[in-house]
Structure 1
């Protein structure tokens, strides 16, 4: 009998934890808050970044210092994602950002999601 009560209470705790985390994620999504995920090197912050939409448009030598993407469920504004990525590029010391991909995806039982990918670069 005690084992059943313990298993039941653990199950309830697990269910409550899932519900709370889902509510927090949904609240952030519905507020339109853009989250940027970055992986790469960091340098002293810059005050400006150039923006490109194709690698071949970059003049001169550079190195890729990192990659970034967003995580946002509707409602979204692509311009908001772009601005947040430019801010992140400045924070990590990039001289420029190259937007490499724009896609939308629909996940079953979820809202549509727009995915923007970019690379941060440092001029040599």
Structure 2
């Protein structure tokens, strides 16, 4: 019984860490890190001439959300040395569904039986934040 509080603490810490886990994928160039890149949510708002550095996606894991994904992209944008990031939208993917059938057979008083089958369909939906990193030309 002494180990239950320790186990509960470990499980709580694991849940807390996984709640903000975001998987990011980047393809493109890298420059020296920047401190405060600009955030844009429309290409119409991007001023001047720029170079497209690369593309990034961020997918929240476990109990993460799209706000966590945005923070992860902002962090990686600084690390990759971008002057700005343009958030391009949210993608969605749905896993192949799985089906689970549960049967229940009830015996009636007259010797007959009633069979009831219930089928449940499950599919996981995941969201992905998409962004493009840019470097302004001087």
Residue number in structure 2 paired with 1:36: 24
Contact 2:33 2:80 (C-alpha < 8 Å) held by counterparts: yes
Contact 2:59 2:69 (C-alpha < 8 Å) held by counterparts: no
Is 1:100 the equivalent of 2:88?
yes
Residue number in structure 1 paired with 2:72: 84
Q: How many pairs align? A: 97
Q: Unmatched 5+ residue regions in structure 1? A: 1-26
Structure 1 length-normalised TM: 0.70
- Secondary structure at 1:75 match in 2: coil
Is 1:120 the equivalent of 2:108?
no
* Root mean square deviation, CA, Å: 2.0
Please state how far the C-alpha of 1:105 moved relative to its aligned partner: 2.1
Please state how far the C-alpha of 1:76 moved relative to its aligned partner: 2.5
**Greater mean alpha carbon deviation, residues 65-74 or residues 80-89:** 65-74
Contact 1:89 1:120 (C-alpha < 8 Å) held by counterparts: yes
Give 1 or 2: higher strand fraction: 2
- Secondary structure at 1:31 match in 2: helix
Q: Unmatched 5+ residue regions in structure 2? A: 1-13, 99-122
Contact 2:39 2:86 (C-alpha < 8 Å) held by counterparts: yes
Looking at structure 1, the residues matched to 61 and 92 of structure 2 have their Cα atoms a distance apart, in angstroms, of 10
Distance 1:115 1:76, change over 3 A: same
**Greater mean alpha carbon deviation, residues 111-120 or residues 66-75:** 66-75
Looking at structure 2, the residues matched to 57 and 75 of structure 1 have their Cα atoms a distance apart, in angstroms, of 32
Structure 2 length-normalised TM: 0.64
